[in-house]
Structure 1
Amino acid sequence: MRRRLLHRIPVRVRHYWKLLAVCAAFLVACAVVFDTVRVAPLVTSTSDNDGDQIVEDIAGTTDLFDETKAHTITLSFKDADYQRLLDEFWDEGEKEFLEADITIDGTRIDSVGIRLKGNSTLAGLTRNGQSRPNGFGGARVGAQPGGQGGQMPQRNGGANGNGNGGPPAGGFPGGGGGFPGGGGFPGGGGARPGGGFGMASLKAEEPETLPWLIRFDEFADGRRYQGHREIAVRVAGMGGGSTVLNEAVSLNVLAKAGQTAQRYAYTSFTVNNRPTTARLIVEHPDEDFAESLGESGVLYKSLATGSFTDQGDDPIDYADDFKQITKKGSQDLQPVIDLIKWVHSASDADFDKHLADHVDVASFARYVSAQNLLLNSDDMAGPGRNYYLWYDLKTKKFSVVGWDYNLSFSGSATTGPHDTTSMGGGRFPGGGNGGDFQPPAGMQLPDGMQPPAGMGGGMGGRGGFGGNKLKERFLASKAFTSTYDDAYRALYKKIYAGADALNILDGITTVLGTVQGNNAEKTKSDAETLRTLIVQRTEHLAGDSVIAGG
């Protein structure tokens, strides 16, 4: 019997059983020894150099981000590739690149990479009339009766008690997967069935309307276009209506006020011979953008799935929170981890005394005050966590870089310098930091409805609606009130007092009117809405004690 069983074992296994036994024992030993050992990313050098080499920089015919001119972009790709991209996004939630040919202002570039861009932005995306089964918008597995699902990405510690940190299971009453009743933002960007926060529905059958990231070196290493590796094609239907005028105005006024901002332009946009639309394109904060921030530093992107919370010492535990953009291999995430741990552990006295050792306080004051002035409801404390961190390797200090202003000018014109503008986090009316949730202007809660627990200033946490401990502690500290007020007053004078914002709006509207595919009626309507808000905000802040007191 024993010999018969032995012969059932393959000959090669019988011949090499000793070697196999040794290998198995080694694997078991590794599992035992290394089971509790933290595996950290390997930094191979302490230099501050980037390894990416540019081998081709296409000059083009016109400065892509000359905002005073109308531009043209055409894209062409195989429909079969596009359907595979949609399949991957629908089934796995992955945003893969597909190969496309692009022509920019008459210059043709073959084999660029394009992919869908955004998180909550894509909440309203439908395909053949159906929402993505496991996405933000539309009915799906786990959705409760009475709504569109409305779940945010599942993370631990959600504020709504259902474990995923998003709106209540089933969304708010009235559907839409976002705020109740389709409560909108100025400019016609209200939440609609199948949509998310303040956004319109998007159709996969209309690729000319979708948000895209265009990468020039995805299929050709080292290629750039006018020094840019990536550009973003922004989506309409958010706080700026169909024209995204609010984002263009925000980027323009910030740049003219001497603040860090991405460049932008308006362009006609044609995909596979479909109808031409007018789209806003924005410089993407990539390796090349980082060069404008300083001589030597590291750029980190805050992810929408993340939070600004202490999760220990292991960098792997922060993989869903921050993405390192530059100097990979020579630098790592440790400075960000150290900052987070210090912000959460420092006493109030220590925070006041040593914040300047970790953060460029003057720069941070300008960033925070700018978000309030521009009524940006989705800044570093918003649900989208829309910001980057720049770590200066010489000063060892952080600065915050703003990004994604399509929900700027989406609050009340009477919001004061010390009132909250974010959907999560920040300072609330009366100096509070929680409890008094104020929905953006135009957003109405149903009669008798109370915001879910945790939807006040404490909306932070993994997968919640937002919140950022650094911003909250900075605004709550009296030690930095004068610094913030000084920055606020100076930026008010540059943005509003001299009618700069109004003049910039007029200039942008004029350029947009020359772009092929522009809808003149919608542009006029969006411009009038934004003009009214800017005038009201200018007049209201002129009488505020922070402005008048200067």
Structure 2
Amino acid sequence: MSLRTRWLRRRVPVRVRHYWKLLAVCATFLVTCAVVFSNVRVTPLVTSPGPTSGDPGEVTWNVGGSASDLFDPTMAHSVSLRFRDDDYQRLLDSFWTEGEKEWLAADLTIDGVPVPDVGIRLKGNSTLGGLTRNGAARPGGFRGGGGVRGGFDPGGGQPGAPPGAQPGGAQPGGAQPGGGQPGVGQPGGGQPGGPGGAQPGAQPGGQPGGPAGGFAGGGFGRVTLRAEEPETLPWLIRFDEFVDGRRYQGLRDLAVRVAGMGGAPTVLNEALSLGVLAEAGEVTQRYSYTSFTVNDRPTKARLLVEPPGEEFAARLGPQGVLYKSLSTGQFTYRGDDPTSYTDDFDQVTMKGSRDLRPLIDLIRWVTTSTDADFDRHLADHVDVESFARYVAVQNLLLNFDDMAGPGRNYYLWYDLRERRFTVVGWDYNLTFTGSTDQGPHDAAARRGGFGGHRLKERFLASAAFRPVYEAAYRDLYRRIFAGGAALRTLDALAAVLPTVDGHDASTSDTDRLRALVRQRTEFLATVL
């Protein structure tokens, strides 16, 4: 053995020399793992808070666009998309066979400003249940994914419940299915089918000549969409899906909306709802009308809406987590394992630094607390005044599909400083549906449409929270209806729509909505 070899050997620690075979085996194992599992994706579950957000990466390119704000509702905008038909057909194949909404690369132009390589995908669940391709519906399409847990069951209340079961299941806190509350505004006792309740089978809006759709054959009414007409479909546009760090006027996402329940294609009821909520000082999404062209197909007038995301969350507060309720979910305690809630909620912001723990704790508390505990400590978990205004708004606007409806349409904002939740409204394309003489305590107000939500039901059933709810209801009634905001907003929207390329005046919903707003105003004046 040479001097150099002996010298090098002495430089190796004795323990390493004694156990070199074991170390060699361990090293070989690690190399093997690296090779075998190099293509396996591991998704960590965060169970403790961290200091930073896991939201999409740093914004490196904010496209300013034209001089006009995209969400200026007083003017018409223009949006066009161009993509390869082969890519579009693959997107449809994926949705048809797997229920997956894959991203498609497209070139976008907004108000004359080109934005290449954006991502677009189909958006919606029950809305896409009416989608056909080559004249045929997607098997199981109504459930938006083949009947996953929590999907809406057209034949009755909760999924898996026997036909005729009460929507929403048991009524915590003593709330009785169909039972109205004594006190303010109870025409007909608030029984379904009575003067204060929505009539199953009635036209949306409760008015003769309302938009077709409603409840078809006992099922949930929906708009018919054709894959051959992509300019009419619901889309989500994402600016950084294929170009990292890009935004458009600060936006990451943009939703192109469609009507619900066979409503007018311009979704005027949703625009009206968003407009009056903004005028009433409520936190809501921004919107505008645009011409919408896909490839060389006919141009249509469409409604653009801001989806709640990181920009929207920043307006809710400086520090917090935004969660989205999924249409496939329920507000049901399933234990402490976050993976048990993947069909129920999606975490929108602060991924990687925060998790579902606050939300799971809320669900458990609402599910298990006694009536006395609920009354005493709700304010520790939920912003009660804000929640009262949310619930009042859904009733005032006759929203068929709020947090208690089949679409489970709401977000939850968890304020990290106050350590409590705020309920945020979303998806107003089924507002102004139902009877105009629905009172603030009618059964339909408590349960929504064929749905149910324990938090909302317990809140409305509690005498302790009736004063704050009724105060919020009266204040919002004055702001939205008595003060004329609804009619002013409707008139402003009716003035913009004819200037939008692709608007079809024959499908206008303006007259019906104007009559409905007046009737709603007159009725509420008699009970408040």
State the AA in 2 paired with 1:478.
Answer: A
Q: Which residue of 2 aligns with 1:247?
A: 270
CA contact (8 A) 2:497 2:503 kept: yes
CA contact (8 A) 2:155 2:219 kept: no
Alpha-carbon spacing, 1:196–1:58, altered in 2? closer, same or farther (3 Å): farther
Q: Which residue of 1 aligns with 2:350?
A: 327
Would you say 1:160 and 2:162 are equivalent positions? yes
Shift of 1:260: 1.0
Q: Which residue of 2 aligns with 1:354?
A: 377
Alpha-carbon spacing, 1:535–1:348, altered in 2? closer, same or farther (3 Å): same
**CA–CA separation in structure 2 for the residues paired with 1:181 and 1:344:** 30
**CA–CA separation in structure 1 for the residues paired with 2:357 and 2:395:** 30
Shift of 1:152: 6.5
Q: Which residue of 1 aligns with 2:225?
A: 202
Shift of 1:222: 1.0
Would you say 1:506 and 2:511 are equivalent positions? no
Equivalent residue for 1:108, pick from 88, 94, 114: 114
Deviation digits for residues 220-274 of structure 1 (CA, Å, limit 9, x no counterpart): 1111000000010001353642221110000000011011110000000000110
Q: Which residue of 2 aligns with 1:530?
A: 513
Within 5 A, what are the aligned runs for 1:34-183? 41-43=45-47, 45-47=49-51, 49-51=53-55, 52-61=57-66, 62-136=68-142, 158-160=160-162
CA contact (8 A) 1:121 1:196 kept: no
Would you say 1:486 and 2:491 are equivalent positions? no
Q: Which residue of 1 aligns with 2:447?
A: 425
Indicate the percent of aligned positions where both proteins have the same amino acid.
60
Which TM-score applies when normalising by structure 1? 0.77
Would you say 1:227 and 2:250 are equivalent positions? yes
Q: List alignment gaps of at least 5 residues for structure 1.
A: 1-18, 28-38, 143-149, 167-178, 427-438, 440-464
Shift of 1:189: 4.5
State the AA in 1 paired with 2:285.
Answer: Q
Shift of 1:158: 2.0
Shift of 1:42: 2.6
CA contact (8 A) 1:189 1:200 kept: no
**CA–CA separation in structure 1 for the residues paired with 2:223 and 2:113:** 32
Q: Which residue of 1 aligns with 2:39?
A: none
State the AA in 1 paired with 2:111.
Answer: D
Deviation digits for residues 97-130 of structure 1 (CA, Å, limit 9, x no counterpart): 1000000000001100000000000011000000
State the AA in 1 paired with 2:253.
Answer: E
**CA–CA separation in structure 1 for the residues paired with 2:493 and 2:453:** 33
SS in 1 for 2:374: helix
* Greater Cα radius of gyration, structure 1 or 2: 2
Would you say 1:212 and 2:198 are equivalent positions? no
Shift of 1:215: 0.4
Would you say 1:495 and 2:514 are equivalent positions? no
Shift of 1:43: 4.5
Q: Which residue of 1 aligns with 2:15?
A: none
CA contact (8 A) 1:267 1:280 kept: yes
State the AA in 1 paired with 2:231.
Answer: E
SS in 1 for 2:316: coil
Q: Which residue of 2 aligns with 1:518?
A: 503
Alpha-carbon spacing, 1:520–1:472, altered in 2? closer, same or farther (3 Å): same
Q: Which residue of 2 aligns with 1:185?
A: 204
Equivalent residue for 1:312, pick from 335, 349, 357: 335
Alpha-carbon spacing, 1:84–1:425, altered in 2? closer, same or farther (3 Å): same
Alpha-carbon spacing, 1:408–1:56, altered in 2? closer, same or farther (3 Å): same
**CA–CA separation in structure 1 for the residues paired with 2:141 and 2:156:** 11
Q: Which residue of 2 aligns with 1:444?
A: none
SS in 1 for 2:515: helix
State the AA in 2 paired with 1:111.
Answer: D
Q: Which has the higher contact order (CA 8 A, sep 6+)?
A: 2
Alpha-carbon spacing, 1:380–1:141, altered in 2? closer, same or farther (3 Å): closer
